[in-house]
Structure 1
Amino acid sequence: MKKLSLLPLAAALMTGPALAEELDIGVSFFNLNERFIIGLRESLEQSAEAQGMDVNVEDARNDIGRQLSQVQNFIASGVDGIIVNPVHSDSTSAMSRAAAEAGIPLVYVNRQPVDIDSLPDNQAFVGSDERESGTLQTQEVCRQLDSEGKLLVMMGTLGDNAAEVRTQDIHDVIATPKCSGLEIVEQQDADFQRIEGNNLMTNWLTSGLEFDAVIANNDEMAIGAIQALKNVGYDMDEVIVAGIDATSDALAAMQAGELDITVFQNGPGQGEGAVDTLQRLIEGEDVDNAVWVPFELVTPDNLDEDVGRN
């Protein structure tokens, strides 16, 4: 079994020398309408161009069947390598098997495959360890609430690995002695979407729930919650809102005094790391089956360091 490796931030942002021959690369993203994924695509394409790769990008539109078909089409067209941002972790086994049988290197990016340790030798995952994301987020909520308060939790897409781990992180933190004064009063999914976060927050407000903080699995849902709170004239100084990803919209909301906490997920580092890893697989190098790009906590105290990074 290949070991796991940690990709330092500086290394994640490095690109190797361009290849002598232009390579044909197929890339499938789970949903190109999602703000973080748009930035991930931009960094991936820029890095691929610098490496001398011709990239064919497809949008799976959150459809497992469509993404599998895209990967099969990449294989049939004889691409040199494939990068996949999975719709769902459970769908990755079929894609891994198809690429392995065709002898085509495959890299998963941002969203983890179902079992990293069992990936074939010519496949790898590049992304961030979700056990850090929700943990950093919730520990900061605990600190800002002085270890006591009522929480509303917005989950991402049900069954999605990131949503599951980030939500479990919240539960794990409030189970610690230091944060045991925190209580989850309601927890529901909002599909990682801003409009769904707005709708869910509106429903919670209508039901009269009492709360001190809203913890969302990503920034889009957190922004949706903020919009709903502002629509009813809620005093944003009276509630803590936390997200994950540190998107440009989230950082703007933090600058406006509306978002209190986010966690920087290094989209540029993941995109460039995926291209670099795929190139090394194509060249026959031995690559670790997981390359980790660290998460970083973002609050108003260090906001200036993160503006413009995603």
Structure 2
Amino acid sequence: MKKRIVAALLCVSMVGLMLMGCAGTRDDGTIKVGITIQNLSNAYWAGVMGKLEQEMEARGWEYTIVGCDNNAGTQVGQVENFIISGCDLIMVHPADAQSVEGICSEAMEADIKVMCWDDPMENTTANWVLDNTELGREIGKTASEFINEHYTKDEKAQVTVIGYPSTKVLLERADGIKEGLEENCEDNYEIIAEVDGLEAPEAQTNVETVMSAHPDANVFVGVCAGAMIGSNEALLAEFGKGKIPENYGVITTDVTLQQLDSLKAGNEAVRAIVGFEGSNEDTAKACADMFERILSGDDFSSGKNIYRAIGPITLDNVDQILKGM
């Protein structure tokens, strides 16, 4: 059974199906891949995983994709099930990297290849990672271009940083955003609030709270798609589509169809997105290519942290990105 995407809340009941997705001996010629990510309800991850399914199906692989609902204990159990079921490769997007080091070591001892997405883990064959501090700096730099265009030392941008500090990589992004703002702004901004916002509803609620306490809040920068979508919805509720002042803006990372549509619309608050690879299709293909390298026995001994490319998405290139969503 190739196609199996399930939510973490169903993890226990789905163990049997997981075994079906990766079942069989590992010497029968069929590649079997087990993937566990933080949260399948996240719009970015749902989009990329959908395209990754297509990539793996095109290669004739069997696979299981599960979300752990940001629960490290659940994720450890998922990796353990992948080991028992005889996967050739396990990809882990850690809820907490330290918590899964041990079980990933067991996978490698069982001669299973392991790839980590996002964290430079020790007990892996290779890590496909972002320099999250550098990604944050790029978000801050991109936001600074918007701020420098619209604000001065006498009339400073009122900036809200939307992060999720309980997750290490997102804390690094938020810190990088602040560094990027400091490095590139012309003394024409101040950070008035820092709030959580991993998923859009939480971000929208927290941005609305900020706007109530700070009526002049006008620039919102964040670490993920949820931060952008939630901020944009809060501003649409406040002003209405086509009525958001041109000096109000939202700049974050991740690449979802909703974000791109909001950017392309031109009458919402989304001003730029800092993305990686390009579209969901581009990211999925790059990920599957990494799987191919690992499975073929590429030597990563000289450096197993493989860094992904990043760059801004604006009105200039949004149409090209949309083609691959």
With normalisation by structure 2, the TM-score equals: 0.79
Return the letter of the residue paired with 2:203.
G
Equivalent residue, structure 1, for 2:259: 250
Q: Does structure 2 conserve the Cα–Cα contact (< 8 Å) formed by 1:248 and 1:308?
A: no
Shift of 1:154: 0.6
Corresponding residue of 2:305: 290
* In structure 1, distance between residues paired with 2:43 and 2:314: 20
CA separation of 1:263 and 1:184: change in aligned 2, threshold 3 A: same
Specify the code of the residue in structure 1 equivalent to 2:140.
T
Aligned to 1:83: 91
**Equivalent position of 2:323 in the other structure:** 308
Distance of aligned partners of 1:173 and 1:154 in 2 relative to their CA distance in 1, 3 Å threshold:
same
Q: Tell me, yes or no, if structure 1 residue 92 matches structure 2 residue 104.
A: no
* Residue number in structure 2 paired with 1:299: 314
**CA-atom RMSD in angstroms:** 2.4
Residues 308 and 245 of structure 1: CA distance in aligned 2, closer, same or farther (over 3 Å): farther
Report how far residue 269 of structure 1 moved: 4.0
1:204 and 2:210 equivalent? yes
Displacement of 1:302 in angstroms is 2.9
Work out the CA distance in 2 between the residues paired with 1:284 and 1:301: 39
Which of 163, 168, 185 pairs up with 1:161?
168
Q: Residue type matched to 1:227 in 2?
A: E
SS state at 2:228 partner: helix
Gaps of 5+ in 2: 1-26
User: In the alignment, which residue of structure 2 is the partner of 1:130?
Assistant: 132
User: Is contact 1:173-1:179 (8 Å) kept?
Assistant: no
Residue 265 (str. 1) matches residue 276 (str. 2): yes
Superposition pairs of residues 150-229 of structure 1, within 5 angstroms = 150-156=158-164, 158-176=165-183, 178-190=185-197, 192-229=198-235
Letter of the structure 1 residue corresponding to residue 250 of structure 2: V
Relative to structure 1, is the Cα distance of residues 37 and 167 closer, same or farther in structure 2, using a 3 angstrom cutoff?
same
CA distance in 2, matches of 1:107, 1:49: 19
Q: Tell me: CA distance 1:97–1:179, structure 2 relative to 1, closer, same or farther (3 Å).
A: farther
Separation in 2 of the partners of 1:276 and 1:256? 33
| Contact 1:62/1:87 (<8 A) preserved | yes
Say whether the 8 Å CA contact 2:137–2:181 is kept in structure 1.
no
Spell out, residue by residue over 1:213-272, the C-alpha distance to the aligned partner (whole angstroms, 9 max, x if none): 111212222221121222222642241111211311001111222111111233444433
Aligned pairs, number: 284
TM-score calculated relative to the size of structure 1: 0.83
**Could you list the per-position Cα deviations for residues 123-155 of structure 1 after superposition, in whole angstroms to 9, with x for gaps in the alignment?**
111243323422222212212221642211111
Task: Give, as a single letter, the amino acid of the residue that structure 2 aligns with 1:248.
Answer: L
Task: List runs of 5+ in structure 1 lacking aligned partners.
Answer: 1-18
* Amino acid corresponding to residue 225 of structure 2 in structure 1: D
Instruction: Name the SS for the 1:137 alignment partner.
Output: helix
CA contact (8 A) 1:27 1:57 kept: yes
